[in-house]
C-alpha cells in the first residue's frame, strides 16, 4: 500500500498495520523544530547560527517586532527614517538607548 507523504504521521493510521504512524517525530524539549533530518531545540532558532542545512532555523528572524506584533523587521529597517510597521513603531523609541526589542 502506498499513501501520500502528507498522511504519514498525521495522527491517523492509513496503513492496516499503522506503520505510517510508527516512528513518527514526537516533539520534545530538545527537538522542537525539525528541519530535514535534524531536530533542534527552539533555543537554536534565530541564534545567529545556521543549525539546519536549509537555514530554516534562521529564516524569518527579524530583530524588531512591531508593536502590533504582526511584523518582524531586520535591524536595518529599524530607525532608518521610514516607517515599516503599519503603526510606525519601528521609528518610535529611536532616541532611547535600547530601541530594539527581541522578537521572541
Ligand atoms: Ca497517517
Ligand atoms: Ca540557529
Ligand atoms: Ca523603518
Measured CA to CA, the distance from residue 79 to residue 23 in angstroms comes to 48
Nearest ligand to residue 92 Cα: 3
Task: State the chain's mean pLDDT as an integer.
Answer: 82
State percent of the chain over pLDDT 70.
Answer: 89
Q: What is the CATH number of the domain that holds 71?
A: 4.10.400
Q: For residues 46 and 104, is the Cβ–Cβ distance under 8 A? A: yes
Total count of domains within the chain: 2
Give the predicted TM-score (pTM) of the model: 0.42
User: How far does Cα 81 stand from its chain's mean position?
Assistant: 28
Model confidence at 75, pLDDT cuts 50, 70, 90, reads confident
Please give the distance, rounded to the nearest whole angstrom, from the Cα atom of residue 31 to the centre of ligand 1.
Answer: 21
Nearest ligand to residue 61 Cα: 2
Please give the distance, rounded to the nearest whole angstrom, from the Cα atom of residue 83 to the centre of ligand 3.
Answer: 4
Question: In terms of residue numbers, what domain contains 35?
Answer: 27-60
Query: What are the tens digits of pLDDT across the range 80-89?
Result: 999 999 999 9
Residue 17: inside a domain: no
pLDDT average, residue stretch 22-38: 79
Q: What is the CATH number of the domain that holds 50?
A: 4.10.400.10
pLDDT average, residue stretch 84-99: 80
Instruction: Look up cell 522542537; give the residue.
Output: 32
Amino acid at each position: 500500500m502506498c499513501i501520500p507523504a502528507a498522511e504519514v504521521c498525521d495522527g491517523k493510521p492509513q496503513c492496516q498495520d499503522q506503520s505510517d504512524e510508527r516512528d513518527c517525530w514526537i516533539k520534545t524539549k530538545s527537538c522542537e523544530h525539525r528541519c530535514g533530518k535534524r531536530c533542534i531545540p527552539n533555543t537554536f532558532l534565530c541564534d545567529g547560527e545556521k543549525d539546519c542545512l536549509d537555514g530554516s532555523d534562521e529564516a524569518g528572524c527579524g530583530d524588531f517586532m512591531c508593536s502590533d506584533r504582526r511584523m518582524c523587521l531586520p535591524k536595518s529597517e529599524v530607525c532608518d527614517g521610514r516607517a515599516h510597521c503599519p503603526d510606525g513603531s519601528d521609528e518610535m523609541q529611536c532616541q532611547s538607548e535600547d530601541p530594539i526589542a527581541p522578537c521572541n
